[in-house]
Structure 1
Amino acid sequence: MMKRRMIGTGLLLACGMILLIGRLVQLQLVETESYSKHHVNLIEASIHQRTQSYVLDEGRGTILDRNGIPMSESIPALVLFPFLKERDWPLEEVANILNVAPERLERSFEGKIQPFTFHKTLTIEQMKQINEQNIPGVYAVNKPVNENPLATHVVGSVRPNPELIQSKYPEKWAEGSIDEQTKLGISGLQLAFDPFLLSEGDTTLLYHADRQGNPLLGLDVKFFSATDSFYPLQLMTTLDTEIQKNLEKAVDESGITNGGAVLIDISSNNVLGMVSRPLFDSEDPLGKGAENQMVKGYFPGSVFKTLILTAAYENGVKDTRLFNCDQNLYRDGIGNRKLGMLNLKDSFAKSCNATFTQLAEELIKTDPNVIEKTAEKLGIATAVGWEDKLYHYENFKQFPDESSPIFFKDEKDKKIRKAIDQTAIGQLNVKVSPLALANMMATIGRGGEAKDVRVVSDLLYRNGTTFLSFKEISHDKKLSNSVIKSLQESLREVVVSGTGNTFLSGLPYEVAGKSGTAELGEDVPYDHQWFAGYFPYDAPQYALVVVDFERKEEQYRAYKAFATIVKDLHQFKR
């Protein structure tokens, strides 16, 4: 009996040993590079456990402003490796260079097991002095920062997505140049230009350590970079860093928390600045504030009367024609404002609804597609962002998130009087983006030539030489000089004697433009307030749209931000 028990126990021990050896063989020889359903590379994981590293640059392509300045700022920083706390090194000398107490520098190592940044911004001279010491584990570097980034909605965001990156770039995945940690663009320029910006390796300071964190191979910290002088590419945008700062400041100081601004250079039709609020939250890339509202469609309100006015001028309606502006928009009763009999130009300046509903009915009766045809000449019939063939991309878009405009959701509405009337004043189903309205003003200010809107001018190699340039794209259909002249005069009259007079007259640049207030329903306690225009009136340089999507009664934040931006640009040019 005892003998059988001993034999059984021996067999169990032998089986256990065989299973253990088999498991070791599996881990050490068979599945070393693809262990478990998660395909873990055990060799890499083992090395990673023994490696301490500090990533200086994730290796993704850089996004620059029009002057070659990176849109994401970098600051001089001191990187310290934790093995220093176990060794003698010139701590006091470094503290003296930094102008800090040695005790503060010493305390910074407490609890640190990975390389870290010492919290003090360095000067260029301090960087030079520290690096001249050649102290292993002490490095002064330029570290990218994410604090207060500019144009976050234009630039967009990135994040890892192992399944998507593998399906999107199968060849790079197979060759191992990208992995599950590689970040993908998910919005804005990061999304549009992801194939050109994709990282193929970061720039890192690293060393191999034992279990106590001490270097295994001496004190040498290695500088590792997978990038070369050509890739990844750099994007040269049309944005101007200083102008963008001023735009963001003007919008925020006006009190706009839901809305934004778009500024276009009229001669080139390039975006100089774009602000969208609420602010983007990098910790919640798909939550509130993730959407760039400046490229999405919204009710434009009375700004849309600019299109109806254009169609009226194109069809021979004279400025001298009179309209009864005591009527409501349906012209079946008295309106809220009694403006009396006004001619066409004054009707536009005072934003008389009755005038434009009457004109829209007459124009659509003659030509049901008059709004679409006029929109095409103003450059807003389709999405307005730069779009063309680029390599194997047939319809490459610089604004991948942009919405196309909507004028009528149903062709039947063109035969319904009240539907036409609501459409004429930018309500019902009309949806146009702030970017499109800025483009419309740029078209008028430029003299009638419609163009695509660019936000990227060039793709550059990493060494700064040009990879390719994005040409200007102009459209064939153009408004006549006489129509443009009448439009410009009417837009100027809005500021001289109309709805824009109170806030936008007397500025250093003479402004021409159109106000708009879009109602969202009786139960909504706020509306959309717009001002879209261009300036200087006599020699147009800028087209600007500012919108407040949560404007309450007696608030004029859009006007105030517009006025501030005009003043800032006048100062900027001096």
Structure 2
Amino acid sequence: MTATRGRTQADAKTRQPREARDPRVQAGARTRTPRTAPRAAAPTPRAAAVTAGSGSGGSGGPGGSAPRAWRVGPSSRRTRIMIGVVLVALVLFAVRLVQVQVVQGPGLAEAASSSRMREYPIHAQRGDIVDADGAVLATSVMTYDIQVDQHQIPAFVYYAEDGKTVLGRGASAAAELMAPLLGVDAHELGAQLTGSNGGLIIARNVTPEVRNQLLDLGVNGLTSNLEEMRVYPAGVTAGSLVGWVKSDGEGAAGIEYRFDDLLGGTDGLRTGEIGVGGVMIPGAGQTVTPADNGDTVHLTIDSDLQQRSQEIIDAKVAETVSEWGAVVVIEVGTGRILSWAESGMVDPNDPSGYGRLNSLQSPYEPGSTGKILTVAAAMEEGLVTPTSEFEVPYTYTPPNSSQTFKDHTEHETERLTVTGILADSSNTGTIQIGQLMSDQTRVDYMDSFGWGAPTGVELAGETAGIALDPTKWDGRSRFTTMFGQHVQVNLLQNTNVIATLANGGVRTPLHLVDGTSDDDGRFTPSASGEEVRVVSPETASDMIRMLESVTSEDGATGNRAAIDGYRVAGKTGTAQVADGQGGVTATAASFVGVVPADAPRIAVGVILFKPQHGFFGGTIAAPVFHDVASFALQTLGIPPTGEKATLFPSYPGEEPPTVG
């Protein structure tokens, strides 16, 4: 016992310096004293190990050491750190919550809503082009192909009006709703809606109304493809005037091009919010901006007259082997173009080329029809009267000029009145009249009659002709311009000269369009241009009576233009033009006239360019006037001339002729 106790004491002595050095152990011993008994009863594994390794004195005995206890409680520093981290996290979370809900909330909500919004265009239908009587010359047939993505159909849910009660799902529900609109069997349609095709066409040529009703059903995966076809029922009749559209539906030529903005209209838009599976949510912010369909363009053209005019000019061009030909009919006093036919009109249903209108874009020398302007100017200036007399030789050399001119047919020198000079279409006589005026005076009248400026007709590409500048005329051209050479005009400009005289001396702007009407039928007339007083009513009336001699007197150049039962006033023209081989052997044969001369209703102009047979205006152009004007008189219901008239004599002392 003594030995054992001694070892224990020795062991204690060996540990004492450490415990003495570690005040924490001493302090811990003091704090652990009250808890010795419970720990002895249920020692920790580490405490048990220490006890087992002690001396024979045992635990708590006089000869043994106290069991060592370990502190496991958290330190206050660690607790503070953990609390701080948690607080920082809570603050950051709160800041982020405020940022999301308060600062970014509206934007995020709008973005979420936008991501669910879908836009569906509502295509505007292109407007029609109609003639003066409302007959359709151009229209659009708008249909849709209905396409379905079969993958999306199973997600379709058909709700009752309360938006909650489910009435059907998938292909069967969609088919029940769609079949009545498409006019098909619901079971057959349901089979079509089932499968894995992402772009199956289930219906073609669906009307816009049915297409809109189908889309309103909200069947997810249902789309439509627009199929718009432009149709021209009249074919080649007025084809080059009407024009056509390109593959994208935009105007390419003629009225289609010139009025593309009005005809095209403005597309509308259907906007709606979609839910799961692409189904449009009923009433969820849906908006519809209706399409504004294109306007209808009303032409001045009479389709019957237009068709007949085209037949006549095509036949004459073929007969004379002309490069091209054209004829225009203008309503006197209004400037409305009732017919405008040109050889080789394009069929807009199958267009080729550029739809060029030579009568508008290829000016030509008017020839003797230009003599009308020279004589009218001289009469308005008070320099001549219808019965003024001139010595008219076959050849003539003006004073102070080295240039010599001649008439179209050799003849003896004869004495003619101004009326006779027009009836015989004398170049030498016209020069004598023209040289009574200054060059600038003649140019001023050319401007007033509308030469050298666009007519304003509603088609693109008009060529106004050669600008009239007398300072650029040489010693010969100042005289040739008196009888329609060395000056160029288009057919509309040339015809409007005689239409101006028939209208009492007032030039009226020409137009091809009466106006437009919108989708509700509201008509907007075309803006009328400014009228121009060119000559007095007295000069105009005398000129018309003088020009009657051209068609009525025996041997006059325009006899082939005469129409039984009607008084006709007109003028032939045969101009020398370049032949393309360095010479001027080709001709431009023309005629302009009005009927009835006693109460003019229509003015008709004809041009046959570079004919290989016939050559003269009185020979080949005057008959075209006769045929077209005769048909126009019947079509328009214009009664025959009611009164006879005494004309001016062509020769001094002659008994004035009577017509009518």
Q: Is TM-score (shorter-chain normalized) higher than 0.5?
A: yes
Deviates more, 1:292-301 or 1:276-285: 276-285
CA separation of 1:280/1:420 partners in 2, compared to 1, >3 Å: closer, same or farther? same
Q: Partner amino acid for 2:297?
A: L
The match for 1:261 among 323, 327, 337 is 327
Counterpart CA distance in 2 for 1:478 and 1:409 is 19
- Residues 509 and 254 of structure 1: is their aligned pair in 2 closer, same or farther, counting only changes over 3 Å? farther
Distance 2:602 2:347 in 1: 30
Which residue number corresponds to residue 443 of structure 1? Answer: 500
Shift of 1:279: 2.6
Aligned equivalent of 1:422, options 480, 497, 504: 480
Q: 1:500: Cα distance to partner?
A: 4.1
State yes or no: 1:349 paired with 2:423: yes
How much does 1:442 deviate? Answer: 1.4
What SS does the corresponding residue of 2:250 show, helix, strand or coil?
Answer: strand
Q: How far is 1:301 from its partner?
A: 1.0
Quick check: 1:374 aligned with 2:445?
yes
Partner of 2:625: 562
One-letter amino acid matched to 1:302: S
> Residue 598 of structure 2: which of 532, 538, 550 is its match?
538
The one-letter code of the counterpart of 1:317 is V
Aligned residue runs from structure 1 range 78-89, under 5 A:
none
In structure 2, what is the Cα distance between the partners aligned to 1:200 and 1:230? 5
Q: CA deviation at 1:60?
A: 2.2
* Percentage of matched positions with identical amino acids: 22
- Among 379, 393, 412, the alignment partner of 1:325 is 393
Compared CA separation, residues 159 and 270, structure 1 to 2 (3 A) = same
Q: Displacement of 1:524 after TM fit? A: 6.0
SS in structure 2 opposite 1:184? coil
2:495 and 2:605 in contact (8 A); partners too = yes
How many Å apart are 1:159 and its aligned residue? 1.7
- Describe the SS at the equivalent of 2:605: strand
Check 1:433–1:332 CA distance in 2 against 1; reply closer, same or farther (3 A cut): closer
CA–CA separation in structure 2 for the residues paired with 1:493 and 1:399: 36
Shift in Å at residue 250 of structure 1?
A: 1.9
Task: State whether residues 325 and 353 of structure 1, in contact with CA within 8 Å, keep that contact through their aligned partners in structure 2.
Answer: no
Aligned position for 2:54: none
The 8 Å contact of residues 365 and 485 in structure 2, kept in 1 or not, is answered as yes
**Higher Cα Rg, which structure:** 2
Residue 405 of structure 1, CA deviation: 3.6
From the superposition, tell whether residues 345 and 296 of structure 1 become closer, same or farther in structure 2 (CA, over 3 Å): same
Q: Provide the TM-score with structure 2 as the length reference.
A: 0.55
For structure 2, the residue ranges without an aligned partner over 5 or more in a row are 1-122, 147-200, 206-227, 269-287, 638-660
Match of 2:235, SS?
Answer: coil
- Name the counterpart of 1:358: 432
Of 507, 510, 523, the match for 2:564: 507
Give the AA of the match of 2:561: L
Q: 2-side partners of 1:285 and 1:156: how far apart?
A: 9
Q: Quick check: 2:295–2:516 contact (8 Å CA) kept in 1?
A: yes
In the alignment, the residues of structure 2 paired with residue 74 and residue 198 of structure 1 have an alpha-carbon distance, to the nearest angstrom, of: 11
The equivalent residue for 1:338 is 410
Matched, 1:274 2:340: yes
Q: After the TM superposition, which residues 79-478 of structure 1 pair with which residues of structure 2 at under 5 Å, given as runs?
A: 144-145=231-232, 148-160=235-247, 181=248, 183-198=249-264, 230-255=292-317, 258-280=324-346, 287=353, 289-294=355-360, 296-315=362-381, 316-318=383-385, 319-327=387-395, 332=404, 335=407, 337-339=409-411, 340-341=413-414, 342-364=416-438, 368-380=439-451, 382-385=453-456, 398-406=458-466, 408=468, 411-413=471-473, 416-428=474-486, 430-466=487-523, 468-478=524-534
**Residue 385 of structure 1: CA displacement?**
2.1
Change (3 A) 1:191 1:409: farther
CA distance in 2, matches of 1:507, 1:526: 33
- Larger mean CA deviation between 303-312 and 185-194 belongs to 185-194
AA aligned to 2:299 is: T
Quickly say closer, same or farther: Cα 1:500–1:332, change in 2 above 3 A: closer
SS in 1 for 2:444: helix
Q: Name the CA shift for 1:334/1:297 in 2 (closer, same or farther; >3 Å).
A: closer
* Structure 1 residues 557 and 289: alpha-carbon distance in aligned structure 2, compared to 1, 3 A threshold: farther
How far the C-alpha of 1:434 sits from its partner, in A, is: 0.6
**Which amino acid in structure 1 is aligned with residue 389 of structure 2?**
R
Q: 1:489 aligns with which of 545, 558, 579?
A: 545
Does the aligned pair in 1 maintain the 2:267–2:292 contact within 8 Å?
no
What is the CA RMSD across the aligned residues, in angstroms? 4.1
Q: Structure 2 vs 1, CA of residues 336 and 571 (structure 1 numbering), >3 Å: closer, same or farther? A: closer
Change in CA separation of 1:297 and 1:255 when aligned onto 2, cut-off 3 Å: closer
Which amino acid is 1:539 matched to? A
Counterpart AA for 2:309? L
Q: Output the CA distance in 1 between the equivalents of 2:493 and 2:436.
A: 26
Name the residue aligned to 1:33.
Answer: none
CA contact (8 A) 1:251 1:260 kept: yes
Cα distance in 2, alignment partners of residues 74 and 533 from structure 1: 39
1:552 to 600, 612, 617: 612
- Post-superposition CA distance 1:246-275 (Å, at most 9, x none): 211221233356111111111321111111
Paired amino acid for 1:530: S
Residue aligning to 2:164: none
* Equivalent position amino acid for 1:566 in 2: A
Q: Distance in 2 between matches of 1:281 and 1:67?
A: 21
Q: Assess if the C-alpha contact under 8 Å between 1:264 and 1:442 holds in 2.
A: yes
8 Å Cα contact 1:443-1:449 kept in structure 2: yes
What is the CA–CA distance in structure 2 between the aligned matches of 1:239 and 1:148, rounded to whole Å? 15
The size of the alignment, in residue pairs, is: 413
Provide the rounded CA distance (Å) in 2 between the counterparts of 1:58 and 1:249. 36
1:16 aligned residue: none
Match of 1:7 in 2: none
> Aligned pair in 2 of structure 1 residues 244, 372: CA closer, same or farther (>3 Å)?
same
Equivalent pair of 2:406/2:428 in contact (CA under 8 Å):
no
SS in 2 for 1:72: strand
Distance between the aligned counterparts of 2:499 and 2:629, measured in 1? 15
Q: 1:353 to 1:279 in 2, by over 3 A?
A: same
CA distance in 1, matches of 2:569, 2:620: 18
The one-letter amino acid paired with 1:321 is E
Distance 1:437 1:334 in 2: 24
Residue 610 of structure 2 aligns to a residue whose secondary structure is strand
Paired with 1:486 and 1:441, the residues of 2 have a C-alpha distance of: 12
Unaligned runs of 5+ in 1: 1-56, 82-112, 118-140, 161-180, 203-225, 387-397
The aligned runs of 1:13-92 (5 Å cut-off) are 59-72=125-138
**What TM-score comes out, normalization by structure 1 length?**
0.63
Q: Offset at 1:483? A: 1.2
